[in-house]
Structure 1
Amino acid sequence: MVKHRNAVRSVAQDQVLLAADVGGTHVRVGLVSQPAGAAGPVSVLRYERYACAEWPSLTAVLQHFVAYLDRSFHIDRCAVASAGYVLDDAIVNGNLPWPVSIRDVRDSLGLTQLAVVNDFEAVAYATQFLAESDTLPVIENSAPRANGPVLVMGPGTGLGSAVLLPGSPHATVLATEAGQIALAPGTEREIEILRVLARERPHVSVEHALSGPGLLNLYRAISELQGSPATLDQPTGVTRHALERSDAAAVEALDVFCALLGSFVGDLVLLYGASGGVFLAGGILPQIRQLLPASRFRERFFNKGVMRPFLQQVPVRLMEHGQHGVIGAASMAIAGRAGSG
C-alpha cells in the first residue's frame, strides 16, 4: 500500500533531494527542498508511505517513487535514515524485511551523493522543527522547557532511541542502542514475567518487551502465568483487545508495557541528563495515546528516588512519527551531519 502526500511545486533543481526513512514495517519517502542558505527546516514537496512487505527491496521502493516525479527533476542526491548500522556495503538490522545494499541504491538511481543516518538520529534531529501543536502531552509541567539534551525514543518493530544535544550552528545527535539494555523489572509480577522470557534467551533486552513484537512477548508470558491460552498472534490484536478490555492477558500486557516504558524512559532521562524533555515516537504509542497519560507510565517515570524532583521538571510529549524521519535525514544531509554511503 502506498500513501500519497503533497504535490510537487516548482523549485530549482539544485534545491531538491530524495529522502527516505526505512523502518521494519514502512518506508517513508519524500522529495525535499532545502532552504535558502541551508538554514532552517526543509520543505517536503511530495511524500509517500510504502508497506515494506509489498516490495522486494528498498531500491524498488525508491525507483517507484522517482518514476512518478515530474520529469524535470533529476535526482542525484539522497539521504536514507534506517534502523541499524552501516557495515561495508550493507545496512545491518535484524528488523528490516530485506537486505539493504548501499551500492545497489546508489548505482540503480544514478546518485552522486548518498547519505546514511540512523532512523532515530533523524527523528531526533527533526524535533528542532516541531511545533507544540505537532505533539500531545503525556507529562506536562509549568516550568519552561530547559535548553538541555532532548531524548527521543519509541517502540515500533524495534525500540529506537537517540539524544539531541543543542549546539551552534548545528545540533548534534547521539545515536544509541538503548533498546539492547537488559530489561529491569520493577515489581514482583515483572520479575515473574522476566523469568518466563529468560527461558527463551540468555539476554532479555528492553526491546524484547518494549516493541511491537515485545508487546506480544509480554502477552504470551502473562497468558502462561495466568494459565490461559495465548490466542492472539499480532501486536495490533493485543492492543485492540486490551483497549476493549476483552482479554485479561492483553489488558495486563498493555498495563505492564506502559509501566516498563515509564521506568525505562525515566532511566534514560537520568542517564543523558535530558532536561530539554522527551519526545515519544514509534508505531505503537499513537494507538494508545488516550491510555498512556492515565497508565502507570507516569508513576514509574517519577519513581527514581531522590531524582524525582529533577524528573518533575522534564516534559514528556508524544509525537506522530510521520514525515519526521524524512525531514531529519534530509536536514542532517544538508547540514553535513550524516555519513556518506
Structure 2
Amino acid sequence: MPKPIDNDQLTFPILIGDIGGTNARFSILIDAYAEPKQFPIVHTADFATIDEAIQTTVLDKTSVQPRSAILAIAGPIKGDEIPLTNCDWVVRPKAMISDLGFSEVMVVNDFEAQALAVASLSEENRETIGDNPMSPIASRVVLGPGTGLGVAGLVHAQHTWFPVPGEGGHVDMGPRSARDFAIFPHLTPIEGRISAEQLLCGRGIVNIYTAVCIADGVEPKFTNPADITATALSGVDPQAAETINLFVTYLGRLAGDLALIFMARGGVFLSGGISQKIIPALKRPEFRLAFEDKAPHSALMRSIPTFVVTHPLAALSGLAAFARTPSNFGLAVEGRRWRG
C-alpha cells in the first residue's frame, strides 16, 4: 500500500484536475515556469469513471504524458476510494498509478484548491462587492454556491498560507425576518433541518423560488435555476426577483458568520459560476447589509472586504501555484498523497 509522504514537490509534468459534481477541468503543468496547458471542460455525466475521462480527454490528446497528478475533488477525502459528493465518480489513486502511468497522485478538497487560488489572486481576477477594495495579507474565507456549496478557510501564519477544508456548506440556516418565517415552512428539510446548501446552490435557488411562490399563492413558472436568475435580473417576475434578493441575503449572512469564525480580515471571496452570474444582485445593498449585520461586531464587519472571484479557472490556478512552490503553503498531505 502506498504510504503518505512529505510535502515535497510533485514530479513534473503534472496533471492538474478540478473535479466538481457537474464539470471536470484539467490542465498539464510541464514545469514550474510554464503556463498550464488547458483541455476542454469535461461533463462528468459523459464518462462512467474519472480514469476514463482522464484517458480519453487528456492522455489520448497530448504527447506530454504527466508523471504525477494533483486532483481537487468535491467531497471529503478518506481512504483509498474517494467518492464525490454530487456525482457517481470515485477517485482511486492506487488504480490511477497502476493504470494511467502516474508515479504519484495527490488528492485535495476542491475548496482547498479555491483557497490556494485566493492566496495569490490578482486584482484583475476579482470583483469588489462593497466599498473596500483592499485585501490585506491576513486570513481569508472562500465560499462558492454551485452544484453544492463549498467552504474553506485560508489562515495566514509564519509567512505561510494554510488552507482549512471543511464541510461548512452543511451548517444550519434558520429564519430571521418576518418574510423568512413565511417562506421557511415551505422549504424542503433534510432530516428535519435546513442546511445552507439547501438554499445556497443551484437547487437552492429553485427551493427558495418554489417556497416564495407557495407563500404568495402563485403557481411556480420555473424549475431551472438559470431561468430564475435570468428572469430575476430582468425584473419581469416578482417571485424570481425576490428569490435572488433572498439568495444574496442568505449568502451575506453565511459569509458574515464565516468571516467571524476565521477573523477573515483579508476578506471573504465568493467563487463559482453562480456568484459570477449574479454580480449585479450582489452589488445591491442586501448582501453587504446582511454581511455586516452582526452586532455587537458590525463595525468589524464593515472593515472586512468581500469579493467575487472572476478567474475562469481559479481552482486550477490555485493547484498550479501549489505545484510550482509547495513550500509556500501549509497543505496537509497525510493520507492524501500516494506514490507507486
* TM-score between both structures, scaled by the size of structure 2: 0.87
Deviation at 1:199, TM superposition (A): 5.5
Per the alignment, in what secondary structure is the counterpart of residue 309 of structure 1?
helix
Tell me whether 1:51 sits opposite 2:48 in the alignment: no
Tell me whether 1:28 sits opposite 2:25 in the alignment: yes
Letter of the 1:296 counterpart: E
Question: Partners of 1:139 and 1:171 in 2: how far apart?
Answer: 25
CA contact (8 A) 1:140 1:316 kept: no
Q: Which runs of 4+ in 1 moved over 6 A?
A: none
CA contact (8 A) 2:74 2:110 kept: yes
Judging changes above 3 Å, is the alpha-carbon distance between structure 1 residues 103 and 249 closer, same or farther for their aligned structure 2 residues? farther
Partner of 2:6: none
Partner of 1:160: 150
Stretch of structure 1 that moved more, 59-68 or 87-96: 87-96
Map 1:141-220 → 2, pairs under 5 A: 141=132, 144-168=134-158, 170-197=160-187, 201-220=191-210
Stretch of structure 1 that moved more, 189-198 or 303-312: 189-198
Tell me whether 1:259 sits opposite 2:249 in the alignment: yes
Partner of 2:219: 229
Partner of 1:8: none
Partner of 1:112: 103
Task: In structure 1, list runs of 5 or more residues that go unmatched.
Answer: 1-12, 37-41
Partner of 1:17: 14
Deviation at 1:200, TM superposition (A): 6.1
Count of matched residue positions in the alignment of Structure 1 and Structure 2: 321
Per the alignment, in what secondary structure is the counterpart of residue 262 of structure 1?
helix
* TM-score between both structures, scaled by the size of structure 1: 0.87
Task: In structure 2, list runs of 5 or more residues that go unmatched.
Answer: 1-9
CA contact (8 A) 1:117 1:329 kept: no
Per the alignment, in what secondary structure is the counterpart of residue 311 of structure 1?
helix
Letter of the 2:111 counterpart: F
Judging changes above 3 Å, is the alpha-carbon distance between structure 1 residues 230 and 90 closer, same or farther for their aligned structure 2 residues? farther
Stretch of structure 1 that moved more, 104-113 or 235-244: 104-113
Stretch of structure 1 that moved more, 96-105 or 308-317: 96-105
Partner of 2:5: none
Question: Partners of 2:31 and 2:176 in 1: how far apart?
Answer: 46
Judging changes above 3 Å, is the alpha-carbon distance between structure 1 residues 14 and 197 closer, same or farther for their aligned structure 2 residues? closer
* Two-structure CA RMSD over aligned residues (Å): 2.2
Partner of 1:123: 114
1:98 paired residue among 77, 84, 89: 89
Partner of 1:65: 58
Deviations 1:212-242 (A, max 9, x none): 1111111111111111112311111111111
Letter of the 1:16 counterpart: P
Question: Partners of 1:104 and 1:250 in 2: how far apart?
Answer: 46
State percent identity of aligned pairs. 28
Question: Partners of 2:23 and 2:37 in 1: how far apart?
Answer: 19
